[in-house]
Amino acid sequence: MATVATVFRKEKINAKGLCPIHFRIIKHRKVNYVSTGILIKEEFWDFKNNKLKSKYPNSARINNQIAQRFAELNNSVLTIETNLKSITGKQLKEKIYGGKPTEFFTYAEAIVEQYQQEGKIGTYDRCKTVIKKFKEYKGMGELLFQDITPDELRKYENYLRKVHNNAPNTIHSNLKFIRRIINEAVNNDIIEPNQNPFLKHKIKTVKTSREYLNEEELDRLCHLDLENGTRLRLHRDMFVFCCNVGGIRISDLLQLQWKNFDGKHITFIIKKTGTQQNIKVPDKGIEIISQYAPKKPKAKDFLFPAMDPDINLDDSKALDNAISGRTAYINKNLKILADLASIDKNLSFHVSRHTWATRALTKGMEIHNVSKLMGHSQIRETQIYAKIINKSLDDAMDLFN
């Protein structure tokens, strides 16, 4: 008969003076341990009552959590032993966890590092932040995949809401990456499909409005009298260019070189998806870039002179930092431009993308063509703009009332 106990393992003290709390399974005099994912200093452990002392932060909640998991583990051991008379302690442990228990943070950090190797620095930075926050919540200890339950996810949502003051869509973004890691673990047979906590926990999001310029507002912006050679003029022209040329993202526009333009089409690799894009440039776009064309443009000269001409595009970290810095500068100037054009909207470069999509649909372009030119992976991403157009038409018909 196997026995289960909660133990404080002071012999496993780490460099920070923290010791793990484990569940110990003894079967046929052989010992196996299951991590609780909790590490504390010895001064916080009550050896007499085998629990955290009250002076430890959130001790009551953590003691309840340990007691609940201990009861669940005990019941699992009893059930398995009842059905399988001859089983070792190691087999018992693996039976309970559906294979060798795997540490979540170690697996997650390997996935995050892959983003860095692929040059996806923005994604790398965002996901590192997600893991950091989750580690703060768990107390920096070990965390098994099997420990992430629907109830634990609900508690973490509440933590993000109260401690970090995160909005619903920020919480959604955090949990979306955690779900991605767990789905990978399921696909790689690290955990069983039925151990995926997101089967019983749905990630909630809040619909956000898509800001865009109507034709009148865009026309006012186009006709602002701005001095040639100024950054304000350059940033206005870049914005208007994207309102006419497929709603190209700022991260792609900043990297466009003259070698990407053949006189009629712009061909480039979309930074976000890694897919190739080819867009025919309409007359307005040709007119804008012609203003910035050198007499003898070199293949590697930038289409718009917004980036340092000497930047190494192969240095993904430096490139990401440069794009972030230029984007912040452009968005700051767009706020000034909005005031000058009497546009009462929160103008950012991404608004040019929304503006192009709504204009394209209004002009009668088929939605699957809009989706393809925007580089959307699924047409449902584009259908948001179709709903905006329908709402606009409904509002127009209200004039008859």
* CATH code: domain of residue 116: 1.10.150.130
Which of 97, 118, 151 marks a domain boundary? 97
SS3 of residue 3 by DSSP: strand
Q: Are residues 264 and 362 in the same domain?
A: yes
CA distances from 312 to 65, 320, 344 (A): 51, 11, 38
The contacts of residue 126 (CB under 8 Å, 6+ apart) are 173, 177
What is the model's pLDDT at position 237?
Answer: 97
- Cα distance between residue 52 and residue 61, in whole Å: 10
296 plus 366 within the same structural domain: yes
Domain shared by 279 and 366, yes or no = yes
DSSP assignment of 320-355: HHHHHHHHHHHHHHHHHHHHHTT--S---THHHHHH
Per-residue pLDDT of the chain (401 residues; tens, 9 = 90+): 778 889 998 888 877 677 888 888 887 777 877 777 677 889 999 999 989 998 887 788 888 888 888 888 778 777 766 666 566 665 555 555 555 557 788 888 888 887 776 778 888 888 999 999 999 888 756 788 888 999 999 999 999 999 999 999 899 999 999 999 998 888 766 777 888 999 999 988 877 667 899 999 999 999 999 999 999 999 999 999 999 999 999 999 999 999 999 999 999 988 887 788 999 999 999 999 999 999 888 999 999 999 999 998 888 888 888 999 999 999 999 999 999 999 999 999 999 999 999 999 888 889 888 888 888 878 877 887 877 777 766 676 676 76
Q: Tell whether 93 and 113 lie within a shared domain.
A: no
Same domain assignment for residues 139 and 231: no
Q: Which segments of 41-81 are extended strands (E)?
A: 45-46, 51-52
d(CA 214, CA 100) in angstroms, rounded, equals 58
Please report whether residue 53 resides in a domain.
yes
Q: Any idea what the CATH number is for the domain that residue 266 is in?
A: 1.10.443.10
Asked if residue 369 belongs to a domain, the reply is yes
Q: Where are the alpha helices (DSSP H) in 163-257?
A: 168-187, 215-222, 231-244, 250-253
Q: Are residues 156 and 249 in the same domain?
A: no
Residues 232 and 366 placed together within one structural domain of the fold: yes
- 356 and 228, same domain (yes or no): yes
Domain count, the chain: 3
Q: Which domain holds residue 123?
A: 104-199
Q: 7 pairs with which residues across the strands?
A: 22
Q: What is the pLDDT of residue 32?
A: 77
